[in-house]
Chain A
């Protein structure tokens, strides 16, 4: 019998959705200032790697989180420099980051641990515990990672920031029409740099959850396309924090259900297809109506305008 809603599915949904909505939020901070970032997957992978090895060496999961944020921010700086300074195609830069991340992580695994598959196990980020006594919510909240909660807080803060603050309005204007923003004295490039760097740091954080939130180890190419699913969640969520959260929970549910259904009569390989196919189908319905920031993916070249 296939079940669709059990405590374990809910718990898995939350766990799987966490890196997706944190990652989608990171992607959103890229695209809201007009920078497409298909390098999300590679940044997530690098974040996962940095978190695992830092946590292993320092024996502190929070140091791992810090390392993931830092590595994410550095890759964000690289992406921002290539897109803004060198005026390169954003997609090319993203692909470069993905390839760099997947080869560099394996290279370093080999160099540090003489093992191309995975890192040694490392301390995990803490989890909520001892809530068994609360009915219904208790079992769901139990074992929930602190990062999940932090992610939710970040979503709410970002919503508030984007729609209720002056800086939020300015940031949104940069992705819609940077020339207009510039003509009003808004430091467009500074907004772009900062937003991309912060966004990518968040993506790194999403990666930390993969390696030391959900598991306690880094494995080769462990993102398995989650960066792209996060990107899809951002699009389905219409480039808003709350929408991205909703879409991520949906994708999380599909993945959780699929994992729950393993071991049934359906071959595992066919089940694996489901989340990816779902992403495509959802996008097919949503993409036409979803309109991103007007200047997304375009080069900002004030002197030629």
Chain B
């Protein structure tokens, strides 16, 4: 029974217009195993899973589940065939309670009436069995992300899924939480469940999976038992060439103080974590990395510095000038630039073309405006320049920004933000959702900025990224720093503990 195949996919294709999201996917998942699917951003992993889950209908190809050919036209059918899915972006109804979220769509009892009593018991049993602690009456919007993930897993278990798919599940977890999650997944395996684990983090594949399938450009490149591969082989298969993310990083030569922050406390905005007494300095030619689980005050810190959120207490000094509460546009003129976390939400205007997006935030500058009017020739010249310098692939200056790939959109933002030779760059998740080629390029650019004596504040939840780029690393937890040190004085375990709010022994405070 255990050797049987839980899922077989043959030649699956799904095209969106000209985009071939899936263009020949083959997949064999043995029952009772943990199967990793790896691929770069945009390789087609999510599209594949949506086809499997009935959210898309594939253009061609076959899906066999437990030996039976299936074609799901809605998630309901997938659910009833025992498929459970933990989506990358949580599928939770924030205004409802944890219990309501778990039972939603599969409420117990025969009649039309809701009964929480029976369901509570069932849910509590599941939680107990796997040691998953949940407050069933909490309203989801008040629950931290780590717990929301746990809730998503309980949802899947409650429906009695036999094939559990997890799409990039570790992005919001601390290293310790990730370990805990792996234990739970192994527990599932022991109980005879089959687990499909989608990720782009190769160390997680090696630690957890039995088998691995690599996807590139919408096609299956190959699949192997985990014993036959290592991270290097997988990386090469994933990208299609050798990956050398060896960064040439000279010793830091910190010069004058660029940013000094003393006891920063920001205003509480909705349910967002506020900055609660942050102090640090950044010097020219230095990269300060800030790591933390999303939602621990990153936004408050960045927006506090940029003048987008009210500062209640503390001092912000930029090049010796008090900048508490000054306008963002003033800071931009003074050489503060920001690569914001979410391209399409805060970095670009979806409906604008490349040219219009390339001047966003700098559009009032003398360079582009005279006699109150835009000088289109000068703007075109500038846009062509950054397109060339940052190797941005675009059909024309008039092309809508959404026709560019994520990596090229990000390069346009970076080109724009670096064009004015800033003295301080705030880079928030600068490599989120871009391919390896773009990641390499962006790392080089940030290191070049450091060489050019720019101060860089790097905010990220990619541990590797922060450790390899930063000169100093600070760990953010609930709006405070748990510790700050050079990367070689911090072990991953220590950082993980600090990300979870535990101060490791013998660890000093911030500077």
When C-beta atoms are compared, the residue in chain B nearest to A293 turns out to be B95
Known: A181-B105, A185-B79, A185-B105. A294 touches B85 (CB 8 A): no
Known: A185-B74, A185-B105, A302-B55. A172 touches B96 (CB 8 A): yes
Known: A182-B75, A185-B75, A303-B56. A169 touches B104 (CB 8 A): yes
Q: A170 within 8 Å of B by Cβ? A: yes
Known: A173-B93, A177-B94. A184 touches B104 (CB 8 A): yes
* A181 x B55 contact (CB < 8 A): no
B497 shortest CB reach to chain A, Å: 32
Which of B53, B93, B107, B109 has the most C-beta atoms of chain A within 10 angstroms of its own C-beta?
B93
B103 shortest CB reach to chain A, Å: 8
CA distance A179 to B92 in the complex (A): 9
* B105 x A170 contact (CB < 8 A): yes
Which of A173, A183, A186, A294 has the most C-beta atoms of chain B within 10 angstroms of its own C-beta?
A183
CA distance A18 to B284 in the complex (A): 69
Report B-chain residues with C-beta under 8 Å of the C-beta of A182. 55, 75
B167 shortest CB reach to chain A, Å: 11
* A176 x B105 contact (CB < 8 A): no
Q: B100 within 8 Å of A by Cβ? A: yes
When C-beta atoms are compared, the residue in chain A nearest to B90 turns out to be A180
Known: A164-B113, A165-B114, A167-B112. A183 touches B91 (CB 8 A): yes
| Cβ proximity bits A151-176 to B, threshold 8 Å, 1 near / 0 not | 00000000000001111111011001
CA distance A167 to B87 in the complex (A): 24
* A166 x B91 contact (CB < 8 A): no
Find A181's partner among B79, B90, B93, B109 (CB 8 Å cutoff).
Answer: B93
When C-beta atoms are compared, the residue in chain A nearest to B103 turns out to be A169
* B93 x A180 contact (CB < 8 A): yes
Report A-chain residues with C-beta under 8 Å of the C-beta of B79. 184-185
CA distance A16 to B75 in the complex (A): 46
- Residues in A165-210 with C-beta less than 8 Å from chain B: 165-170, 172-173, 176-177, 179-187
* A180 x B74 contact (CB < 8 A): no
Number of interface residues of A (CB under 8 A): 24
A82 shortest CB reach to chain B, Å: 21
Report A-chain residues with C-beta under 8 Å of the C-beta of B100. 169
A80 shortest CB reach to chain B, Å: 19
Report B-chain residues with C-beta under 8 Å of the C-beta of A168. 114
CA distance A165 to B107 in the complex (A): 10
- Residues in B84-120 with C-beta less than 8 Å from chain A: 85, 87, 90-96, 100-101, 104-107, 109, 112-114
Report A-chain residues with C-beta under 8 Å of the C-beta of B113. 164-166
Report B-chain residues with C-beta under 8 Å of the C-beta of A187. 74, 76
B368 shortest CB reach to chain A, Å: 32
* B56 x A176 contact (CB < 8 A): no
* A176 x B96 contact (CB < 8 A): yes
A290 shortest CB reach to chain B, Å: 13
When C-beta atoms are compared, the residue in chain A nearest to B16 turns out to be A303
A109 shortest CB reach to chain B, Å: 42
Known: A164-B113, A184-B75. A169 touches B107 (CB 8 A): yes
CA distance A303 to B54 in the complex (A): 11
* A179 x B94 contact (CB < 8 A): no
Report A-chain residues with C-beta under 8 Å of the C-beta of B75. 182-185
Report A-chain residues with C-beta under 8 Å of the C-beta of B101. 180
Which of A168, A182, A293, A302 has the most C-beta atoms of chain B within 10 angstroms of its own C-beta?
A182
B37 shortest CB reach to chain A, Å: 19
Report B-chain residues with C-beta under 8 Å of the C-beta of A293. 95
CA distance A170 to B79 in the complex (A): 16
* B114 x A169 contact (CB < 8 A): yes
When C-beta atoms are compared, the residue in chain B nearest to A303 turns out to be B56
Find B106's partner among A180, A184, A294 (CB 8 Å cutoff).
Answer: A184
B371 shortest CB reach to chain A, Å: 36
* A185 x B56 contact (CB < 8 A): no
Find B91's partner among A164, A179, A294, A303 (CB 8 Å cutoff).
Answer: A179
Find A185's partner among B76, B90, B93, B94 (CB 8 Å cutoff).
Answer: B76
* B114 x A184 contact (CB < 8 A): no
CA distance A302 to B47 in the complex (A): 12
* A183 x B93 contact (CB < 8 A): no
CA distance A177 to B95 in the complex (A): 9
| Cβ proximity bits B45-82 to A, threshold 8 Å, 1 near / 0 not | 00000000101100000000000000000111111100
CA distance A170 to B80 in the complex (A): 18
Report B-chain residues with C-beta under 8 Å of the C-beta of A183. 53, 55, 75, 85, 87, 91
Report B-chain residues with C-beta under 8 Å of the C-beta of A184. 75, 79, 91, 104-106, 155
B344 shortest CB reach to chain A, Å: 11
| Cβ proximity bits B13-40 to A, threshold 8 Å, 1 near / 0 not | 0001000000000000000000000000
CA distance A187 to B55 in the complex (A): 12
Report A-chain residues with C-beta under 8 Å of the C-beta of B74. 185, 187
* A166 x B114 contact (CB < 8 A): yes
CA distance A184 to B85 in the complex (A): 9
Report B-chain residues with C-beta under 8 Å of the C-beta of A167. 112
Which of A166, A170, A179 has the most C-beta atoms of chain B within 10 angstroms of its own C-beta?
A166
| Cβ proximity bits B462-476 to A, threshold 8 Å, 1 near / 0 not | 000000000000000
Report A-chain residues with C-beta under 8 Å of the C-beta of B104. 169-170, 173, 180-181, 184, 186
* A186 x B94 contact (CB < 8 A): no
When C-beta atoms are compared, the residue in chain B nearest to A166 turns out to be B107
CA distance A2 to B74 in the complex (A): 63
Report B-chain residues with C-beta under 8 Å of the C-beta of A181. 93, 104-105
Which of B53, B77, B112 has the most C-beta atoms of chain A within 10 angstroms of its own C-beta?
B112
- 13 residue pairs from A and B, CB less than 8 Å apart: A164-B113, A164-B114, A165-B112, A165-B114, A166-B113, A166-B114, A179-B91, A180-B93, A183-B75, A184-B79, A185-B78, A303-B16, A303-B56
Residues on B facing A (Cβ under 8 Å): 16, 53, 55-56, 74-80, 85, 87, 90-96, 100-101, 104-107, 109, 112-114, 155
Give 16 new A-B contacts, CB below 8 A, not counting A176-B94, A184-B104: A164-B114, A172-B93, A172-B95, A173-B93, A173-B96, A176-B95, A177-B93, A180-B92, A180-B93, A183-B55, A183-B87, A184-B91, A184-B105, A184-B155, A293-B95, A303-B16
Q: Top 4 A-B pairs ranked by shortest CB distance?
A: A185-B76, A184-B105, A180-B91, A183-B91
